[in-house]
Amino acid sequence: MIASFKSKALRRLWEQGDGSKLPVSNTARVERILARLEAATVPEDMNLPGYRFHGLHGKPKRYAVDASGNYRVTFSWDDAAGDALDVDIEDYH
């Protein structure tokens, strides 16, 4: 389940269906990523074909999936609660 957002634009898309503030044009793909993240019980549930799921370096541990172009949806994970935390969309390249 998604417990918190770091990106106001992603929160707006998730809660109101408004993707106008996102830095990517393919909002339908981002919506699918968020829906899958909401249903995930472990980070590896995001390891689907085309998502290029991967772990990032650093503390706390964060994960990423491809959104569009260089943009990735990134998140950390609370193992105890089974929740995604600080969900963000970023161009980290």
Do the Cβ atoms of 74 and 57 come closer than 8 Å? no
Quote the CA–CA distance of 14 and 6 in Å, as a whole number. Answer: 12
Q: Mind listing the pLDDT tens digit for each residue in 33-51?
A: 999 999 999 999 999 999 9
What topology is assigned to 8-90 in CATH?
YaeB-like fold (3.30.2310)
Quote the CA–CA distance of 74 and 89 in Å, as a whole number. Answer: 6
Query: How many residues in total does the chain contain?
Result: 93
CA 88 to each of CA 45, 82: distance values in angstroms, whole numbers, following the listed order? 18, 18
Give the domain ranges of the chain.
8-90
Reading the block at residue 7, the tokens are: 């990106």
Quote the CA–CA distance of 86 and 74 in Å, as a whole number. Answer: 8
**Residue 31's pLDDT band (boundaries 50, 70, 90)?**
very high
Helix axes 8-16, 27-39, angle to 10 degrees: 80
Q: Mind listing the pLDDT tens digit for each residue in 59-82?
A: 989 999 999 999 999 999 999 999
- If you average pLDDT over residues 6-22, what whole number do you get? 97
> What's the whole-model pTM score?
0.94
